[in-house]
């Protein structure tokens, strides 16, 4: 059980919740997720990325997309939430990687923040390409060099965040991304990324979150994989994107 410390709306329809639970926060690696029991109205737990961890607390950044997350948004400080985790594999940063390029599309910023935090505290260089539809976007904590793009041009580059990727590829030792499927499909077609180590975090409907129900199975070049157990982080070039449906 994790106790809600705070739960605030940080942009339209998106909340940042901090919870107290040392068992999760001290164990969590960037890119891992938790399964959250969202009240009695929902049968299945909801998978949510661990956004940040700080001592005995960890944060979830979540958009309201249904009954479960609506319930979560109503939880006040002090409420106990039933949470399973940390789950999944998380991002893998190679020991000799100095320059990390992070690419976030919309709420895909959620799992990348803890990766940025960890990389910066390890003395690595981080550039975060962060794309949203408009200026209603998450205000990033300081310390991250952000390159912004909005589809309507209200902040930063006008267009899709993927259009900024090619100019940063050479600088990067490794690339990490989280965003919607069209973003991944665009990246998978980029010749600049063919020989780069690119890790992507997949968002998928889940049942158990622990590798037993097979609801999250995908086909990869390494065979069938379960997103909850073998992922959610995969090598971009291993995923057969034409067969992914979320
Ligand atoms: Fe059950 Fe992945 S959600 S196997």
- How many other CB atoms are found less than 10 A from the CB of residue 202? 20
Q: Which long-range contacts (CB under 8 A, 24 or more apart) does 6-10 make?
A: 6/77, 7/72, 7/73, 7/75, 7/76, 7/77, 9/73, 10/61, 10/138, 10/139
Q: Work out which ligand 1 atom sits closest to the CA atom of 209.
A: 3
Residue 102 Cα to ligand 1 midpoint, Å, equals: 27
What pLDDT is attached to residue 33? 97
Where in the chain is CATH 3.40.50.80?
99-243
Residue range 74-82: average pLDDT?
96
What pLDDT is attached to residue 132? 95
What pLDDT is attached to residue 246? 62
Residue corresponding to tokens 């803890």:
114
Fold of 99-243: Rossmann fold (3.40.50)
pLDDT in tens, 98-121: 999 999 999 999 999 999 999 999
pLDDT in tens, 47-60: 999 999 999 999 99
What pLDDT is attached to residue 17? 98
Q: What is this structure's pTM?
A: 0.94
What pLDDT is attached to residue 161? 96
Q: 214: Cβ below 6 Å to ligand 1?
A: yes
- pLDDT confidence band for 144 (50 / 70 / 90): confident
The best mutation among 88, 89, 215 to test binding of ligand 1, ranked by most ligand atoms within 8 Å of the C-beta, falls on 215
- Separation of alpha carbons 117 and 158, rounded Å: 27
Q: 207: Cβ below 6 Å to ligand 1?
A: yes
Residue 225 Cα to ligand 1 midpoint, Å, equals: 10
In percent, how much of the chain has pLDDT > 90? 88
What pLDDT is attached to residue 139? 81
Residue range 141-164: average pLDDT?
92
Residue 145 Cα to ligand 1 midpoint, Å, equals: 35
Q: How far is CA 199 from CA 53, 79, 100, 108, in A?
A: 21, 35, 11, 13
Q: 213: Cβ below 6 Å to ligand 1?
A: yes
The best mutation among 216, 225, 230, 246 to test binding of ligand 1, ranked by most ligand atoms within 8 Å of the C-beta, falls on 216
pLDDT at 179 over 70: yes
Residue corresponding to tokens 């982080």:
233
The full DSSP string for 69-132 is HHHHHTPPTT-EE-EEEEES------TT--EEEEEEEGGGHHHHHHHHHHHHHTT-EEEEEEEE
Confirm if 178 and 227 have CB atoms less than 8 A apart.
no
Where in the chain is CATH 2.40.30.10?
2-87
- Specify whether domain 2-87 bears CATH 3.90.226.10: no
Phi, psi (rounded to 5 degrees) for 109: -65, -25
Mean pLDDT rounded to a whole number for the chain: 94
Q: Work out which ligand 1 atom sits closest to the CA atom of 204.
A: 3
Confirm if 87 and 34 have CB atoms less than 8 A apart.
yes
Residue corresponding to tokens 């809600």:
4
Look at strands 174-178 and 198-201 and give their pairing. parallel
What pLDDT is attached to residue 142? 67
Residue range 161-166: average pLDDT?
96
Task: Name the DSSP letter for residue 239.
Answer: B
């Amino acid at each position: 059980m994790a106790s809600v410390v705070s739960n605030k709306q940080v942009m339209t329809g998106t909340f940042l919740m901090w919870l107290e639970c040392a068992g999760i926060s001290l164990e969590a690696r960037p890119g891992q997720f938790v399964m959250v029991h969202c009240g009695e109205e929902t049968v299945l737990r909801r998978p949510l990325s661990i956004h940040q961890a700080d001592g005995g607390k960890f944060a979830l950044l979540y958009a309201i997309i249904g009954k479960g997350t609506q319930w979560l948004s109503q939880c006040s400080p002090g409420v106990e939430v039933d949470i399973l985790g940390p789950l999944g594999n998380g991002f893998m940063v190679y020991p000799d990687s100095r320059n990390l390029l992070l690419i976030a599309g919309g709420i895909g910023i959620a799992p990348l923040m803890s990766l940025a935090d960890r990389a910066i505290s390890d003395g690595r260089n981080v550039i975060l390409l962060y794309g949203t539809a408009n200026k209603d976007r998450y205000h990033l904590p300081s310390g991250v060099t952000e390159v912004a793009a909005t589809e309507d041009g209200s902040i930063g580059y006008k267009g899709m965040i993927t259009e900024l990727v090619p100019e940063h590829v050479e600088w990067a030792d490794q690339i990490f991304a989280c965003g919607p499927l069209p973003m991944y499909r665009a990246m998978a077609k980029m010749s600049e990324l063919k020989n780069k180590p690119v890790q992507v975090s997949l968002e998928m409907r889940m049942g158990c979150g622990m590798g037993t129900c097979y609801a999250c199975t995908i086909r990869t070049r390494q065979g069938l994989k379960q997103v909850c157990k073998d992922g959610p982080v995969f090598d971009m070039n291993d995923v057969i994107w034409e067969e992914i449906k979320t």
